[in-house]
A and B are shown apart, each in its own frame.
Chain A
Amino acid sequence: MMLKVQNLEVLYQRSILGVADISIDVPKGHIVAIIGANGAGKSTTLRAISGFIGLDDARVSNGSILFDGRRIENRFPHQIAHLGIALVPERDKVFPNLTVQENLEIVASRTGHAERRHLEASIYDSFPRLAALKAKLAGLLSGGERQMLAIGSAIMCSPTLLLIDELSLGLAPVIVDDIAERLMRIRDELRLTILLVEQSTAIALRMADYAYVFENGRVVLSGSTDELRNDSSIQDAYLGTSGGEQRNYRHVRNRAQGPAK
């Protein structure tokens, strides 16, 4: 197992529970997805793995995170990056005041010059759009282009495990399709393992081999994506299909009561 999260508990400000008793396995070479609504604890888990919760005044208070058999919880983000885990963050993806090329160049690498050139070539090869924008300031890029650059920057760390916090958020469907396809290609080329946090259940189930469903800071369901696609509770709650039929938003609501929460 490349990444093993066991009974993870994260406390914010020493007293507020972020996630409780999360266990996740990410086998080498696979794509694993975490699905759930905002506030379900998806990002918290990803930031716990990548060490960024320290910046949010939070700590892993219980459980463990094992990467290649080594415990990595509560370390600094740069230490974790050095072990070969790179994060594509949800916000602040790029340095807006640097060009595309500079964004890739400033990444501290774990490897030598030749390897860097190779990675850079792979990135420009997989995302030709970035190659065309090399000299443009990252702050002027569109949402899709930023996402490509963020993925590129993460790959420049030459990771073995790539963590992606929201791949599709705020992007046009046609762009998401394009990025997903190119991401799959570069993953095959570099043999990356991916842990993906995704709000869009449809996209997560399409890309991943295995998925975990989060609700209120806990895992409520998990399984291979084939199993989940056929799971009626997933269909009902996340895909909006009942009995194989897509439910229409216009007619769905017969509940007399307010929102479920």
Chain B
Amino acid sequence: MSELTIDKVTLAFGGLTVLNDISFSVEAGELLALIGPNGAGKTTVFNCISGIYRPSGAIRFRDRDIVGLKPYEVAGLGIARTFQHGELYGRMSVLDNLLTARHLRIRTNVIGEILRLPSTRSEERRHRDVANQALHFVELERYRDTPVADLPYGVQKLVGFARAIAAEPNVLLLDEPSAGLTREEREDFAHYILKIRDQLNIGMIWIEHDMQMVADLADRIHVLDYGKSLADGRPEDVLRDPEVIRAYLGTQAGP
């Protein structure tokens, strides 16, 4: 069974059809790249999965239809995501940012927190350890206590990524993680993406504009164009597809 299945999903705002009969799925340990021009509906797909929009059709996590669940309920199933902009809390330290992703797993209540009971403290400590492991995974330990706003852009992007991992997700949605990064930082990112797939066996849907990254890393590519599925398959096939070249890649195509 697939980890996450998008089954004939359609979304319309007023008279405007934003997504038109989209279908694809991702397996555990699979890296699926979602590509297409701006406005093709890539981020909209993510918003449907995470419960911000309510499309028609089905979105299944394992065998459960999750359409209609609230965003925090979707997150509770272990579907984590990163955002393109503004996802981190600048004044909070890196570690506290990671801890926000553990909200659902931390079992403390307001009374215990106000009194800072021993049980509250030990629970906090336990989750701090998990967050530290996520930091270790992307090798950012040295920034643990730094407020995020004070970090260079490339490091901030990695913190957003680490936060998604800190949730210990089953499925990870990555929204343009490499945008604005240098080649070198992209290479680091590539390393961590592969490390997640291989060591944690998480299914990932990855929105990306860097076609070389996609060609080198993705297991499979799904192409969207103006809200429709245009192609789906292995990178070497999809990136040579004349339709995809016409609609998206243009002359600088090709891996």
- Which residues of chain A have a CB within 8 Å of any CB of chain B? 36-39, 142-144, 169-178, 199, 201-202, 237-240, 246-250, 252-253, 257-261
Contact = CB atoms under 8 A, between A and B. Distances in A.
Contacts of B248: 172-174
Nearest to B157: A38
B185 A259 contact: yes
Interface string B13-38: 00000000000000000000000111
Contact of A174 (B185, B188, B247): B247
Contacts of B186: 240, 249
A201 B215 CA distance: 19
B145 interface: no
Contact of B253 (A173, A237, A260): A173
Given A173-B250, A250-B217, A261-B154, A37 B37 contact: no
B154 A259 contact: yes
B197 to A, nearest CB: 11
A258 B185 CA distance: 10
Given A39-B153, A173-B252, A177-B251, A253 B182 contact: no
Interface residues of B, number: 40
Contacts of B212: 240, 246, 249
Nearest to B211: A173
Nearest to B246: A174
Given A259-B155, A261-B152, A37 B180 contact: yes
B131 interface: no
Given A258-B140, A259-B185, 12 more contacts: A37-B180, A38-B180, A39-B152, A173-B211, A173-B249, A173-B253, A178-B250, A238-B182, A238-B183, A240-B183, A249-B190, A249-B217
A72 B184 CA distance: 36
Contacts of B92: none
Contact of B184 (A170, A174, A260): A260
A37 B158 CA distance: 15
Interface string B158-184: 100000000000000000000111111
A176 B213 CA distance: 18
Nearest to A147: B38
B250 A177 contact: yes
Contact of B179 (A144, A170, A237): A170
B216 interface: yes
A145 B213 CA distance: 26
Contact of A253 (B188, B213, B245): B188
Contacts of A247: 187
A248 B245 CA distance: 21
A143 B217 contact: no
Contacts of A246: 212
B170 to A, nearest CB: 24
B247 A237 contact: no
A250 B139 contact: no
A240 B155 CA distance: 20
A250 B235 CA distance: 14
Nearest to A202: B252
B252 A170 contact: no
A199 B213 CA distance: 16
Given A38-B153, A259-B139, A143 B39 contact: yes
Contact of A37 (B181, B188, B211): B181
Contact of A237 (B154, B182, B209, B211): B182
Contacts of B39: 142-143
A239 B190 contact: no
Nearest to B187: A252
Contacts of B217: 249-250
B58 interface: no
Contact of A240 (B187, B188, B211, B251): B187
Nearest to A201: B183
Contact of B37 (A143, A199, A240): A143
B37 A38 contact: no
B21 to A, nearest CB: 20
Contacts of B153: 37-39
A252 B190 contact: yes
Contacts of B70: none
Interface string B207-222: 0010111001100000
Q: Which 9 A-B pairs have the closest CB atoms?
A: A174-B250, A258-B139, A143-B38, A38-B180, A172-B37, A249-B216, A39-B153, A38-B153, A249-B190
Contacts of B154: 37-39, 259, 261
